[in-house]
A and B are shown apart, each in its own frame.
Chain A
Amino acid sequence: MVLPAQLQNNLTPSEVNFLAENELVTILPRYTMQKMQLIGTKVPALRAMRRESVPLWVALILKSQDKCSIIPPKWLNVAYLKDKYDEEVRKPNQFSALPWNWLEISKMLLARASDDLSDPSHLLRSVLQDLREIRLVKSRKGLKELNESNIVLNGLSLLEINELRPFVLTVMNKLRQLHDTSNAQDIADQDEYEDGGYDDDDDDDI
């Protein structure tokens, strides 16, 4: 097959990761580099100690060469995430607003730039894990609400959606098929009934 079946209609975690690498992050360069024109974007001229924002993948290359430090995004610290966790607990029927790629970005930064983060990485990991678990529980609970027409999933991030997708889509499509057949059946029944009714009338007339 041109595209393996596991890649159809769903994104793999590594693809989600790839997409997350395009997010812009702020870096603090440690050296000077001329600006560069890439195919779609450009990397601004870097000067030591002057903040610039570049795509995450560029930042990670520079970081791996020790040419910059990455300023962690404003949501990636224990206090902010703890707040969000409390919010998740307070509002059991709603997901709190987190960035579209929070899982990926936090994972990449923890793995490759942990020295730039404002809090110790073990604390961050633990609060991230807590958040992830509570959201997972919520989304599992939400599966009860599945129907054949539509559902609203505000606040979920891309990776979380991809975890749900295979199950949700299969179930909803099956429900839709059941719904369609039962509707068709209803209409057929009604027709039959009406036909029968006319027959009775005819009988009465005779």
Chain B
Amino acid sequence: MDIDDILEEFETTAKTDLKKTSVHDNLYNDLITAMINERMAPELLPYKKELLDEVLQRLSNQQQNLLDSHEYGEVNASSGVVSSDFKLQLMIIETDIERYNYLVRLYLRTRLTKIDKHAIHYINETMESDKEIRLSPEEEEYINQHFKIITKLYNNSFLKKMPPSLTLLDDTAGEESMIEHPDINKHVFIKSISTTPMYIKLDDGEDLPIEKDGIYVVKYNVIKKYIDLGDIVLI
């Protein structure tokens, strides 16, 4: 086996991957869009299961390939077969993996922040079975476990010393609700990527014309559905 074989292997494995899912022609851009949308939206967006599964699958394949080639490189280093080209290519492949890792991490961390912040809101939402599923199974497990631990901590440290009527963490009676809801009326920066011009209905009944590549600041809830459709991205 020499360098060519290994590189060929890279290609064939990658090619079969590509064939399996031609849907994601532009995996990288999809991932970036998902990350930025998540980052800028005031509420948790539905988990991009297909995209993430695909990315993670390819990442682990590529990592395995990289390990194999490193092994090959080490074995053959003394004999002088390994050229600097080979090292350069490995470096590019490694950088590519790191860039994906970074994006995936950023995506998941952003989601976790929101989950932590509005824990009770999303727990209540997962209880209602008719709502669309936002959380991945892992996130759902996390949110429940984390909430359990937090409640226990609060109880042990101070809640047990308070009058029972004040100890409810999800108390909605009285003026203020104890549940923190995401504020979906927040303003967000948007960019239109749809090729056809369209109109967005604003709260006051007026229509806002949206041009392609136009940049606007509007309330999140009026453009929410266009994000799902992919006509608008948050920036």
Chain A: residues with CB nearer than 8 A to chain B?
1-3, 8-9, 11, 18-19, 22, 33-43, 57-58, 61-62, 65, 67, 149-156, 158, 161, 165, 168-169, 172-173, 176
Contact yes or no, A37 B10, CB < 8 A: yes
B28 engages A2 (CB within 8 Å): no
A-B contact pairs, 13 of them (CB 8 A): A1-B116, A8-B39, A11-B36, A11-B39, A33-B89, A39-B27, A40-B26, A40-B58, A57-B99, A65-B88, A149-B219, A152-B214, A153-B216
Evaluate contact between A39 and B216: CB separation under 8 angstroms.
no
- Residues on the B chain within 8 Å of A176, using CB: 185, 187, 219
Pair A67/B88 contact, Cβ less than 8 Å:
yes
Q: A33-B85, A38-B92 are in contact. List 7 more A-B contacts (CB 8 A).
A: A3-B109, A11-B36, A35-B11, A36-B93, A43-B92, A149-B204, A150-B219
B1-36 CB mask vs A (1 if < 8 Å, else 0) is 000100100110011000000001011110110001
With A2-B112, A22-B28, A172-B187 known as contacts, the answer to whether A9 contacts B97 (CB < 8 A) is no
Q: Do B235 and A161 touch (CB < 8 A)?
A: yes
B91 at interface, CB cutoff 8 A: yes
A90 and B24 alpha carbons, distance in the complex (Å): 43
- Interface size for B (C-beta < 8 A) is 55
> In angstroms, how far is the closest chain B Cβ from the Cβ of A123?
30
Q: Which of B100-141 contact A (CB under 8 A)?
A: 100, 102, 109-110, 112-113, 116
Instruction: For the complex formed, measure the closest distance between the CB of B11 and the CB atoms of chain A, giving whole angstroms.
Output: 5
Q: Tell me the smallest distance from the CB of B71 to a CB of chain A, in Å.
A: 19
Given contacts A34-B7, A149-B202, contact A154 B214 (CB under 8 A): yes
A2 touches B113 (CB 8 A): yes
| Nearest B-chain residue to A180, judged by Cβ | B185
Asked if B208 is at the interface of the complex by the 8 Å CB criterion, the answer is yes
Pairwise interchain contact B32-A9, C-beta atoms closer than 8 A: no
B109 engages A57 (CB within 8 Å): no
B100 near A39 with CB under 8 A, answer yes
**What are the 9 closest A-B residue pairs judged by CB atoms, nearest first?**
A37-B14, A40-B27, A40-B28, A2-B112, A38-B96, A3-B113, A153-B215, A150-B218, A172-B187
B89–A36 contact, CB under 8 A?
yes
